[in-house]
Amino acid sequence: MKPMTIGRLSSAAKVKVTTIRYYESIGLMGTPERSASGQRLYGNADVERLSFVRHARELGFSMDAIKDLIGLQTEPDQDCSAVDTIAQRQLLEVQKRLAQLEALERELKRMVENCRGGKVGGCQVMAAINDHSECESDKHERLKPL
């Protein structure tokens, strides 16, 4: 039960030191104890909580969703359906994004395959970007960062 410094927590949970302090600042991690000299001190529960956050981030959950999940975790007697709802919403998001990216892939593939070399002036890739209207998926939704 001996407390660990932020660096140990960082390597235990595989989350960067700066990120841990950031999580604290946005209320995702709660204010830890401090040593006499002011250093943050953590215990095993913090490793688990931080790992949970990391796993959830890796699954693409937003910070808000993660906050909700943590809130639910602290009330184990509540109905599980709230958790299920969050996960299902996330799955839908991922599937939507997948569909977008698949359309993009088809389009880029077509562009690259049509390239016959030569000069920029007659470049098929350039033409494809210019004359986007020919494309199957003309109406891209606003694309989130790749």
Where along the sequence are the contacts to a second copy (CB under 8 A)?
Answer: 48, 51-52, 55-60, 62, 69, 72-73, 75-84, 87-88, 90-91, 93-95, 97-98, 101-102, 104-105, 107-109, 111-112, 115, 117-123, 125-126, 129-130, 132, 140, 143-146
DSSP symbols for 121-137 = GG-HHHHHHHTGGGSTT
86, 61 Cβ separation under 8 angstroms: yes
- Largest alpha-carbon pair distance within the chain? 70
3-class state of residue 91 by DSSP: helix
3-class state of residue 61 by DSSP: coil
Binding to DNA by residue 86, rule CB under 7 A?
no
Q: How far apart are CA 100 and CA 84, in angstroms?
A: 24
Element (H, E) at 57: helix 44-58
Binding to DNA by residue 36, rule CB under 7 A?
yes
Q: How far apart are CA 22 and CA 43, in angstroms?
A: 18
Binding to DNA by residue 7, rule CB under 7 A?
yes
Minimum Å gap between C-beta 68 and DNA is 12
Kindly tell me which of 38 and 117 has the beta carbon lying closer to a second copy: 117
Minimum Å gap between C-beta 75 and DNA is 23
Binding to DNA by residue 44, rule CB under 7 A?
no
Which of 16, 55, 109, 140 touches DNA (CB under 7 A)?
16
Binding residues for DNA (CB under 7 A) = 5-8, 10, 16-19, 21-22, 35-40, 57, 62-64, 142, 145
